[in-house]
């Protein structure tokens, strides 16, 4: 979750494979985001995506829906209880976005992500 002045928004949280903790997310002077964690006593640093780097802002009518995306990169996550989800740090390209939930027919939307911009899509699920 990301806390904003208008509330919280579900978004991809960086995962550092094989680590024990995610301790911080920070931006360097060039504007690149980083996730910092630890594996035992060894520090781990990986690039972290941010919605401002280009991405898709998904709205669906189903809280806690599973959101999946397919394109130059693919992945999935869970929308917040209101059905909002941000996918940040996406490279330029065309994406297929799918929203699904238990006992619901999945629905699909398409989005073209331009460099450094956010494309908003609505994917209403049929339950």
Strand partners, 10: 85
pLDDT at 66: 95
Residue 57, C-beta contacts closer than 8 angstroms, at least 6 positions apart: 51, 84, 85, 86, 87, 118, 119, 120, 121
Predicted local confidence at residue 20, as pLDDT = 66
Considering its fold, how many domains does the chain have in total? Answer: 2
Instruction: Give residue-wise pLDDT tens across range 3-60.
Output: 444 445 555 555 555 556 777 777 778 777 777 777 777 777 777 776 777 899 999 9
79 and 110 assigned to the same domain: yes
Assess whether 9 and 33 both reside in one domain: yes
84-107: average pLDDT: 93
Domain shared by 82 and 100, yes or no: yes
> Would the pTM of this model clear 0.75, i.e. be above it?
no
Distance separating alpha carbons of residues 55 and 103, to the nearest angstrom: 28
In this prediction, residue 5 carries a pLDDT of 46
Q: Do residues 74 and 113 both lie within one domain?
A: yes
Q: Which residues pair with 68 in a beta bridge?
A: 76, 98
Residue 70 has what pLDDT? Answer: 96
Note the pLDDT tens digit of each residue in 103-126: 999 999 999 999 888 999 999 998
- CB-based contact 85:58 (threshold 8 Å): yes
| Contact in structure between 1 and 8 (CB atoms under 8 Å) | yes
Residues 81 and 24 in one domain: no
Domain hosting residue 30, numbered range: 2-47
Same domain membership, residue 64 and residue 14: no
């Amino acid at each position: 979750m990301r806390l904003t002045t208008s509330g919280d928004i579900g978004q991809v949280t960086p995962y550092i494979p094989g680590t024990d903790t995610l301790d911080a997310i920070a931006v360097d002077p060039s504007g690149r985001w980083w996730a910092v964690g630890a594996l035992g006593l060894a520090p781990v640093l990986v690039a972290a995506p941010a919605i401002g780097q280009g991405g898709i802002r998904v709205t669906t009518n189903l809280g806690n829906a599973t959101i999946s995306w397919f394109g130059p990169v693919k992945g999935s996550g869970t929308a917040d209880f209101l059905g909002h989800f941000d996918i940040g740090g996406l490279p330029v390209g065309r994406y297929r976005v799918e929203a699904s939930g238990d006992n619901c027919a999945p629905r699909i939307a398409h989005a073209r992500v331009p460099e450094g911009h956010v494309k908003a899509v609505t994917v209403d699920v049929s339950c």
